[in-house]
Amino acid sequence: MNTEDNPFLSLSGTAANVDSIKGSRLRQITNLTKSPASARPSEFVNGHMPTFWVKDKDNPIECLPTDLIHKSYNDFRKQTLDKRLSVTTTDGHLDMDVLYQFWSHFLVRNFNSKMYDEFRSLALDDLSSRESSAGLNNLIRFYDGVLLSNRAISDGVAQDLVDLVKSESGVGERPTFQKLRSAWRNGAFNLKNRKKIDRIIDDNLRTELEK
């Protein structure tokens, strides 16, 4: 089956590894017309139930249609970054959108500092040199997921989050600030994460968060 005709795009991973990227990047998930009967349950991988991220879906799923083409994460990443640097390729941004979306979900539960650093670096570079906010939007989604999670935030991620919040001052919409403020005002916010961020922020930002 030609992958360009397959409306699905999914990226899968477990706590043990990044498993695979499946399907086509070109169609929107809303174009899918397969019935639920065409899906099958995910199989356990290394003792973990895989979760799959489908293009334009906010939440992972555990079942996928059977007519998908498997592609390894490493292969897809290399192909995507090669396209990003190519002056002759016009669709590289589509694959980058998919990679950003995957990172924003996967890293919340399976944090990897090397993967995160690449995610953040590319997102900020796209914003400054390509005037593309897709990476930044997904980076903010990642920070939101981390703030909502009960997992400990690393020192580096906490500092990057606060730095991004400060960079939004006086620029209209402040999406990262709003995410942090929402978590700050949430009584269920992880206490260790709250203390870690409280040690980084200054008095002015603390006052804003507590308004």
Low-confidence stretches of the chain (pLDDT beneath 70):
1-62, 64-70, 87-92
pLDDT of residue 64: 65
pLDDT of residue 160: 98
pLDDT of residue 70: 65
pLDDT of residue 172: 78
Q: Report yes or no: 14 and 46 within 8 Å, Cβ to Cβ.
A: yes
Q: What is the CA radius of gyration of the chain?
A: 19
Q: Report yes or no: 121 and 160 within 8 Å, Cβ to Cβ.
A: no
What letter would DSSP give residue 27?
S
Taking CA atoms, 24 is separated from 44, 68, 86, 87, 142, in Å, by 24, 8, 21, 22, 23
pTM of the model as a whole: 0.74
